[in-house]
Amino acid sequence: MMAKRKMSLKELSEKVGLTLSNLSILKTGKAIRFSTLEAICEVLNCQPEDILKYVNIEK
């Protein structure tokens, strides 16, 4: 979604109010708060399903 919106991680960081390191953690799939997800979706004008993907780690 960031690429579709032509937005850098730094720009998203500034608009959402998160540090670059926290956004990097999210990009690696470690963890996310619902309030953070809501803020990112608001800035990118998208739905959670547009940026999240379920991966079964038990495979």
4 located within any domain: no
One-letter amino acid at 10 equals K
Residue 43: band (very low, low, confident or very high) from pLDDT cuts 50, 70, 90: very high
22 assigned to some structural domain: yes
The CA distance from 16 to 37, in Å, is: 10
**pTM exceeding the 0.85 threshold for the entire prediction:** no
Distance, in Å, from the CA atom of 59 to the CA atom of 39, rounded to the nearest integer, reads: 32
Residue 46 lies in a domain: yes
Provide the number of structural domains found in the chain.
1
For residue 32, the model assigns a pLDDT of: 81
- Cβ(50)–Cβ(2) below 8 Å: no
Intra-chain end-to-end CA distance of the chain, in Å: 27
A 10 A CB-CB count for 32 gives: 15
Within a domain: residue 40? Answer: yes
pLDDT of residue 59: 65
